[in-house]
Structure 1
Amino acid sequence: MTLLPFPELTDPGNTDPSVDHAIQAIVGGASTDATCSTDLAEGPWTFDSRPGYGPGSSMGDVIPTGSPRQGELPVEYREADEADLDARIRAAKATLGDRVVVLGHFYQREEVVQHADYVGDSFQLANAALDRPEAEAIVFCGVHFMAETADLLSRPEQSVILPNLAAGCSMADMADIDQVEDCWEQLADVLGPLDVADDSGRMPVIPVTYMNSSAAIKGFVGRHGGIVCTSSNAETVLEWAFERGHRVLFFPDQHLGRNTAKAMGVALEQMPMWNPRRPLGGSSAEQIVDSRVILWHGFCSVHRRFTVGQIEQARAEHPGVRVIVHPECPMEVVDAADEAGSTDYIRRAIDAATEPTTFAIGTEINLVRRLAAQYPQHEIFCLDPVVCPCSTMYRIHPGYLAWVLEELVAGRVVNQISVAAGVATPARVALERMLAAKPRA
């Protein structure tokens, strides 16, 4: 499988796709737009020694004790300007050649994405990790759970590197392994042994975890006959799970689970919420027995920012606007939009539009601004008028990318992500099931 980076910007008059430039202009007074935090104008190394996800959409989320932190970035990278870092990254990549492959998530800042060999969503990059077996190092410009997944899928002799160890994910952290194990035990108290099929051959519960989860959670799913999903193949995965079980335990994102199951005809009353801080998740035993999908109490802070009011305003100001949102958005936002789909779905929908169209997009601002620059024939804007990138994706700065690449040139591997063997084996089982569950075209 080969993913290509976004097309180059061929029109020099195109809107600058850089979110960093937009934030600097806001903070410097050159723009009247708004940002959710002026701290975003600072280098992420300013926040590396502090607990928390950093400024941006997840800055209000509580980070678990013991979450990874990044050590101090050498001063030469902190003080280098954008042009210098760009030149150093290009030189290091040229020296390393096929020994390194750089993966970049759609939500990465433009200054990082331009150096990626592959750009995609989590599903695509999971495949891309398999596509360069000759590379000695995989530099994953994303967040921690993505780098773990790359380590699970790559060859043993390959090193997976996360440029900034503080690039976690607040959604992934909303379901830890102890909470999930406890949930499983409580479900067994209500439903009976969960590892025994009934006369129809179906299990009481099939666990399904979103890609946005730790390797430990993926390992749990693999051990208990479950599967991983992404926003690209969630419906395909739920179909797989319903063939094998009477109900699904879906975590950590409640919104993706609810929106996907609802579109498949599952009634809302059959989708109780599991709050790990309450007995039986806050539901009754009867609700658990009658359920089809048990939703974990988790969410994405980026996609929770989008509202029905924003959609109504977009329709009022732009008659005929086409509204597309990510399925991690709350159900009422998805219902009010024209379409919902993964980041790659959004990109493909815009690419396929043959006539000039106005698009209002409900997903992370880095992708939206990049699409606006790459498709100047359309008017493309983010539903949220406040510039508020993903806190943790934004922790990957060109300074960190230059540092890890130049360390590789010097023969040193830094920030390596490794999953313990006891977790890796069952997690790979769950991921292999995910990779076989191809989303519909």
Structure 2
Amino acid sequence: MTSVNDLIRGSAATSVRNCGADLASDPWTVDARPAPTYGPGASVADPAPLGMPRQGRLPEEYAAASPEELDRRIRAAKATLGNRALILGHFYQRDEVIRYADVVGDSFQLARAAATRPAAEAIIFCGVHFMAETADILSGTDQAVILPNLAAGCSMADMASIAEVEDCWAELEALYGTAADAAGRVPVIPVTYMNSSAAIKDFCGRRGGIVCTSSNARAVLTWAFERGQRVVFFPDQHLGRNTAKAMGVPLDSMSMWNPRLPLGGNSETALIQARVILWNGFCSVHRRFTVEQIAAARAEHPGVRVIVHPECPVEVVDAADENGSTDYITRAIVAAPDGGIFAVGTEINLVQRLATRYPQHTIFCLDPVVCPCSTMYRIHPGYLAWVLEQLVEGETVNRIRVADEVSSGALLALRRMLAVQP
């Protein structure tokens, strides 16, 4: 099957204006740019914060190595390390990396894996920065969490800084006060999506809040509404809106918070009447999917089953047949009788992997312009070989450490999440 890189390059001429064109096979060239950038892909136009992590120079022996040599070196290092090293791979990783993962899953599944593998001395997280932070918080103090490329971040997570969130909370407290109602519910409960910094998870944990993933967002919001009169949801507006709407919360009971405006750009009346306050953040991959793409898929493929991720805009979720996490999408396809036709609205690496793995179905991406996650691709076999061979030599590079003063509150919020069953 045609590789993701080939698809991107083939569509570069028509997609450069709305995608970033080329998915680099050598992310170290992007890492070497003087200014921080998310790189080619869906987030190419998203402004990268000046303080985002930067990856140092990858040794030339790994950058110049052939795929065959990298495969040999990775497998040899894995064999030497044995159970001392655990490789976690997110669904959105490229196949060239996923093939080495000991556990593959969504952020919820990988969070559980990090919390339940005490025998591993090192956890190599093939994902993005906030996931590695979460693994460090949940794993033992004697376990090292490694992110093969420090520049593998998340533009959505970067859309909410801890300073902005604290300012938002101060304004909400000034408006709502802190007194609970007759049922014991506080004025507002903070909920943060897994796609956020450890500092924001800590913020939520210290204020009675919780973390959610796309797998358990509904269960988490149910938990939050039992404890609060309303919820403020960071940082993905679409997951928050789609989940609350599915629970019966009217759209006119939701307010958007713009951190650049007083009261987030809302009136006091609107905020008092709101049941959900949505942070103005989004995933640049899932924002690309449209109702028009769904209509085109239905016209070209009668009987198509359209499944999208809940990070998509609400009108796209409403027009689809189903919506759910990456794990939900995978399970839906696995359980379907042979001969199904699926149009999937999520990151291309997962869609293409499903199409390869389940050839009894017709599976394609809703977006005809293949535009991948800009940061997931930053994990390359060259970086994986490097960090593994350093472990063999007794050196730990690219270790992700969350400070104790941040991890304590974040751990509270994450434990609350893990206790809420989807």
TM-score class, shorter? over 0.9
| Superposition map of 1:334-349 within 5 A | 334-349=317-332
CA positional deviation for 1:140: 0.1
2:149 aligned with 1:154: no
What is the correspondence of 1:174-189 to structure 2 with a 5 Å cutoff?
174-189=159-174
Partner of 1:236: 219
One-letter amino acid of the structure 1 residue matched with residue 257 of structure 2: W
Match of 1:97? 82
- RMSD (CA atoms): 1.3
SS of the residue corresponding to residue 272 of structure 1 reads: strand
Pick aligned residue for 2:238 from 249, 255, 259: 255
Contact 2:5/2:25 (8 A) holds in 1: no
Q: Is the 8 A contact 2:5 2:22 kept in 1?
A: no
Q: What is the 5 A alignment of 1:23-422?
A: 23=8, 36-50=19-33, 51-193=36-178, 196-422=179-405
Q: CA 1:294 to 1:34, structure 2 compared with 1: closer, same or farther past 3 Å?
A: closer
Q: Which amino acid aligns with 1:238?
A: L
Percent identity between the two aligned chains:
70
What per-residue deviation string (whole Å, max 9, x for no partner) do you get for residues 64-112 of structure 1? 1111000000001111111111111111100100000000000000000
Deviation at 1:26, TM superposition (A): 6.0
For 1:188 and 1:25, locate their aligned partners in 2 and report how far apart those are by CA, in whole Å.
Answer: 52
What letter is aligned with 1:423? V
Q: Secondary structure at the match of 2:172?
A: helix
**Which amino acid is the alignment partner of residue 432 of structure 1?**
R
Gaps of 5+ in 2: none
Match of 1:9 in 2: none
Is the 1:220–1:426 contact (alpha carbons within 8 Å) kept by the matching residues of 2? yes
Deviation at 1:198, TM superposition (A): 2.5
Q: Could you tell me how far apart the structure 2 residues matched to 1:417 and 1:126 are? A: 15
Query: In the alignment, is the contact (CA less than 8 A) between 2:354 and 2:363 conserved in 1?
Result: yes
How far is 1:257 from its partner? 0.2
Distance of 1:311 and 1:49 partners within structure 2:
39
Q: Using the alignment, how far apart are the partners of 2:75 and 2:137 within structure 1?
A: 28
1:256–1:328 CA contact under 8 A, matched in 2: yes
CA–CA distance in 2 between the matches of 1:34 and 1:59?
A: 12
Q: State the alpha-carbon separation in 2 of the partners of residues 386 and 431 from structure 1.
A: 36
Shift of 1:197: 2.0
Distance 1:334 1:247 in 2: 23
Q: Is the 8 A contact 1:177 1:216 kept in 2?
A: yes
Q: What TM-score comes out, normalization by structure 1 length?
A: 0.93
Change (3 A) 1:26 1:276: closer
| 1:333 Cα offset (Å) | 0.4
Superposed CA deviations along residues 216-248 of structure 1, whole A, max 9, x for unmatched, are: 000000000000000000000000000000000
Deviation at 1:25, TM superposition (A): 6.1
1:24–1:41: 8 Å Cα contact kept in structure 2?
A: no
Q: Classify the secondary structure of the residue corresponding to 1:316.
A: helix
Q: Distance in 2 between matches of 1:342 and 1:286?
A: 34
How many pairs were matched up?
418
Letter of the 1:119 counterpart: V
Name the SS of the counterpart of 1:160 in structure 2.
strand
- Residue 54 of structure 2 contacts residue 150 of structure 2 at CA under 8 Å; is this kept in 1? yes
In 1, the alpha carbon distance for the partners of 2:161 and 2:377 equals 23
**Which string of whole-angstrom CA distances, capped at 9 and with x for unpartnered residues, describes residues 272-321 of structure 1?**
00000000001100111101000000000000010111001000100000
Amino acid in the other structure paired with 2:256:
M
Work out whether residues 57 and 388 of structure 1, in 8 Å CA contact, stay in contact via their aligned partners in 2.
Answer: yes
TM-score between both structures, scaled by the size of structure 2: 0.97
| Range that drifts further, 387-396 or 144-153 | 387-396
Specify every segment of 5 or more residues in structure 1 that has no aligned partner in the other structure, as ranges.
Answer: 1-14
How far has the Cα of 1:42 moved from its partner? 4.2
